[in-house]
Chain A
Amino acid sequence: MIGLTDFTMAEARDALRARTVSASELTHAFISAIEGARCLNAFVTETPERALDMARQSDTRIARGDARPLEGLPLAIKDLFCTKGVRTTAGSKILNNFVPPYESTVSQNLWDAGAVMLGKTNMDEFAMGSSNETSHFGPVINPWRAGNSNRNLVPGGSSGGSAAAVAGQLCLAATGTDTGGSIRQPAAVSGIVGLKPTYGRCSRWGIVAFASSLDQAGPMTRTVRDAAILLRHMASVDEKDSTSVDVPVADYEEGLDGGVKGLRIGIPKEYRIDGAPPEIEALWHRGAEWLKGQGAEIVDVSLAHTKFALPAYYIVAPAEASSNLARYDGVRYGHRAANTHDLTDLYERSRAEGFGAEVRRRVLVGTYVLSAGYYDAYYVRAQKVRTLIKRDFEQAFETCDVLLTPATPGAAFAIGEKSDDPVSMYLNDVFTVPVNLAGLPAISVPAGLSETGLPLGLQVIGRAFDEATVLRAGRAIEVAAHFGATPKKWWAA
C-alpha cells in the first residue's frame, strides 16, 4: 500500500481535493517521518505545532469548499528564508538565536496559497558550500547510500537539508536558494528535481543575503510537475525587492506535457571537461538521444568562456558576500563576543566567533578583491568576464531553444572527502555556476544511477524568463528516464 509520505505534491493535492485524505493526516505522517529521520540532520528547526495548526485551518477551508492552490500541502523551508516568529539561522552560529519579526516574500506567498510549514532545513553556512558540511548545526546525511555500503554521503549543498528532506520523503517539497548551484547540485546528487528560476523571478526580500546579484529562490521537488506547481506560487514581483521583475508568471503545469517535438536542444562542447567520469558523459549522451527520440533537434553550440565562469564567480560572490555580511556586527542581532574592551574588539571577536571557517575565508577573499588597488584587477575584470559569459549564452540561443548539460561532475561523495581543499570543493559547481552569472533559468532532473547506484542529474538551461520551456524539456527527460528510484529507508530501521 502506498503511504501518505509517498505522494508526489500533485498527488497529495488531488487526494486532498478528493477528500480521500485530510491535511491533518498528511501533516501527521510527515511529522512522524521527520521524527524518525533525525539522524539525517535535515532540519535545524522543526515546527510540528505550527504545522498541525496550519493543517487544521486548511481542513476547515477544504470542508467549506474554499481551498487555495496549495491548500494543506506540507513543505519544508530552507533556513535562509526569514520566517516570522520562527528562528532563522542561515546555518550560522552568528544567527543562532535570530527570530525574524517579518516573513520572507517567497514563504509568505506559499502560506497565502495554503501551504503548511513543517520546519526549517539545514544548509551550508550562509549558503556557502557544496556539501552541507559548513553548517554550524553539523552536516546533513544524504538518504542515498552507494550499493551495500554504510558510508554516509553528503547531500550536496548549500540546500542540502531541503534536498535530503525531499529525497527522504520528510516533506512533499521544499524551498531552496541557488547562488552558484545550491538548488541544482544537491537536487542532482540526492535524486530529486531542482529548479533555479531566472534572476528576478522570485523576490529576494527576507532571504538572508549571500551574493545579491546571483541569489535566487526556487523549488526542490520529487517531480518536474511539482516544481512547476511550486514555482508558480513562489514567484512574484515585489515592491520590497527592486530587482524582482514584473513579467507574468504562467501556469507552468499547463504546458508541461507539450513535448519537445521541433525543439532545438543545444549541446555546449565546453561542458566536456577533462577528468569527469565516463558515466557523466554517457548520461549526457543518453539524455540527448532521449530528446532526439521525442522529436527534438540536437544542435552543437559553443559557450567559449565556460572555463572562466568558476574563477569569475569566486571573485563576484565573495565580494558581494563580504559586503552583505558586514551587517553582522554583534550589536543589532546575532552572536556577540563576551568581555570585549572596545567597539572594534567587539566587532572583530563577535565575527571571528560567529562565522565558520569557509565564511571567514570568503569574506577575506571578498574584502581583498574589493580593496584599494585590486578592485580593477579582480572585481571589474570578473564583471567583464561575466558580460562575456552572458553573451555566449545569448549567441547560443540564436541557434537553439534550450541547452542540455550534466548537472554535476559526479555523484554524491563521502563526508570529509573534499573538505581539505576549497578549490576542489568549488569544482562541484562547474556546470551550474555559469547559469547564475548569466541570470538564466535552469532545472536539474534525475536521469539515472551511477555505477555505484547513486543518482545523477541532467541540467536544462533556458532563455531568461522561459521557465515554461525549461520545465517542458525537463519533463521530457523525466518521462524518458523513468527514474522513479528512491533511497532505501535505512535510517528508519
Chain B
Amino acid sequence: MSVDKQTVRRIAKLARIALPDERVDPMVAELNGILGWIEQLQEVDVEGVEPMTSVVAQKLRLRDDVITAGGDATAIVANAPQTEDNFFVVPKVVE
C-alpha cells in the first residue's frame, strides 16, 4: 500500500499537524519509503494468531474508586501558555 498527496493531507489533518504545500511531496516520498519497507509483514502467516494485548501476562489491578490527588488548579495551569483565573484560554470556539 502506498499513500498519495490527498491521503497525506488527510492524515496530517487527522493528526492536527500543519503541512505546508511544499512539504506534501517530500512527505509522500518519506512515508512511502517507510510503508514500502513495512509491507514485508504481508509475508507472515498470521492465520489463527491472536493479536497481542499485553506483553506480560497479568491481570489489571483494580483500586478503590476514591480521590487520591487533585484540588491544585494553580499547579495544573502553571505550564499553560495562556490562562485566566485558572482556566486555559483558547481562541473563540463558539460564535
Query: How many residues of chain B have a CB within 8 Å of chain A?
Result: 54
With a cutoff of 8 Å between Cβ atoms, the chain A residues found around residue B21 in the complex are none
A7 to B63, CA, bound (A): 44
**Are A371 and B34 touching (Cβ within 8 A)?**
no
**Are A388 and B56 touching (Cβ within 8 A)?**
no
A239 to B68, CA, bound (A): 11
With a cutoff of 8 Å between Cβ atoms, the chain B residues found around residue A382 in the complex are 41
B90 contacts chain A at the CB level, 8 A cutoff: yes
With a cutoff of 8 Å between Cβ atoms, the chain B residues found around residue A363 in the complex are 15, 17
CB contact list, A289-337 vs B, under 8 A? 305, 307-308, 311-312, 314-315, 322, 326, 329-336
A342 to B91, CA, bound (A): 5
With a cutoff of 8 Å between Cβ atoms, the chain A residues found around residue B18 in the complex are 345, 348-349, 351-352
A-B contact pairs, 5 of them (CB 8 A): A199-B55, A322-B15, A331-B90, A363-B17, A388-B49
**Are B52 and A331 touching (Cβ within 8 A)?**
no
Apart from A307-B40, A352-B19, A378-B41: 9 A-B pairs, beta carbons within 8 A: A101-B79, A245-B56, A343-B91, A367-B11, A381-B44, A385-B41, A385-B46, A390-B55, A422-B34
A198 contacts chain B at the CB level, 8 A cutoff: yes
With a cutoff of 8 Å between Cβ atoms, the chain B residues found around residue A307 in the complex are 40
With a cutoff of 8 Å between Cβ atoms, the chain A residues found around residue B41 in the complex are 308, 311-312, 315, 378, 381-382, 385
How many whole Å from B68's CB to the nearest CB in chain A? 8
A386 to B52, CA, bound (A): 6
B51 contacts chain A at the CB level, 8 A cutoff: yes
Chain B, residue nearest A374 (CB): B1
How many whole Å from B31's CB to the nearest CB in chain A? 6
Chain A, residue nearest B60 (CB): A242
Contact of A311 among B40, B68, B79, B88 (CB under 8 A): B40
How many whole Å from A440's CB to the nearest CB in chain B? 9
**Are B30 and A422 touching (Cβ within 8 A)?**
yes
Chain B, residue nearest A216 (CB): B55
A364 contacts chain B at the CB level, 8 A cutoff: yes
With a cutoff of 8 Å between Cβ atoms, the chain A residues found around residue B58 in the complex are 200, 243, 245
With a cutoff of 8 Å between Cβ atoms, the chain A residues found around residue B78 in the complex are 99, 101
With a cutoff of 8 Å between Cβ atoms, the chain B residues found around residue A243 in the complex are 54, 56, 58
A109 contacts chain B at the CB level, 8 A cutoff: no
With a cutoff of 8 Å between Cβ atoms, the chain B residues found around residue A390 in the complex are 52, 55
| 5 closest cross-chain pairs (CB), A and B | A439-B55, A383-B51, A333-B79, A336-B81, A352-B18
How many whole Å from A397's CB to the nearest CB in chain B? 14
B14 contacts chain A at the CB level, 8 A cutoff: yes
**Are A332 and B79 touching (Cβ within 8 A)?**
yes
**Are A213 and B11 touching (Cβ within 8 A)?**
no
A378 to B76, CA, bound (A): 37
A125 to B65, CA, bound (A): 36
A483 contacts chain B at the CB level, 8 A cutoff: no
Q: Known contacts A242-B61, A331-B90, A422-B33; is A99 also within 8 Å of B79 by CB?
A: yes
**Are B91 and A368 touching (Cβ within 8 A)?**
no
Contact of A381 among B35, B46, B56 (CB under 8 A): B46
With a cutoff of 8 Å between Cβ atoms, the chain A residues found around residue B38 in the complex are 311, 314-315, 378
Q: Known contacts A308-B41, A311-B41, A315-B41; is A387 also within 8 Å of B50 by CB?
A: yes
Q: Mark B1-43, 1 if CB is under 8 A from A, else 0.
A: 1010001100110111111000000010011011101111111
**Are B44 and A334 touching (Cβ within 8 A)?**
no
B75 contacts chain A at the CB level, 8 A cutoff: yes
Q: Known contacts A343-B93, A390-B52, A438-B55; is A334 also within 8 Å of B34 by CB?
A: no
Chain A, residue nearest B3 (CB): A368
With a cutoff of 8 Å between Cβ atoms, the chain A residues found around residue B63 in the complex are 239
**Are A439 and B56 touching (Cβ within 8 A)?**
yes
Chain B, residue nearest A305 (CB): B44
With a cutoff of 8 Å between Cβ atoms, the chain A residues found around residue B56 in the complex are 198-200, 243, 245, 439, 464
CB contact list, A386-425 vs B, under 8 A? 386-388, 390, 421-423
A336 to B77, CA, bound (A): 14
Chain A, residue nearest B13 (CB): A348
A355 contacts chain B at the CB level, 8 A cutoff: yes
How many whole Å from B78's CB to the nearest CB in chain A? 6
How many whole Å from A470's CB to the nearest CB in chain B? 16
A33 contacts chain B at the CB level, 8 A cutoff: no
With a cutoff of 8 Å between Cβ atoms, the chain B residues found around residue A479 in the complex are none
How many whole Å from B56's CB to the nearest CB in chain A? 5
How many whole Å from A378's CB to the nearest CB in chain B? 7
A47 contacts chain B at the CB level, 8 A cutoff: no
Q: Known contacts A101-B75, A333-B79, A374-B1; is A361 also within 8 Å of B30 by CB?
A: yes
How many whole Å from A58's CB to the nearest CB in chain B? 28
A263 contacts chain B at the CB level, 8 A cutoff: no
A329 to B91, CA, bound (A): 13
CB contact list, B53-95 vs A, under 8 A? 53-56, 58, 60-61, 63, 68, 72, 75-82, 88, 90-93
CB contact list, A133-172 vs B, under 8 A? none
With a cutoff of 8 Å between Cβ atoms, the chain A residues found around residue B60 in the complex are 242
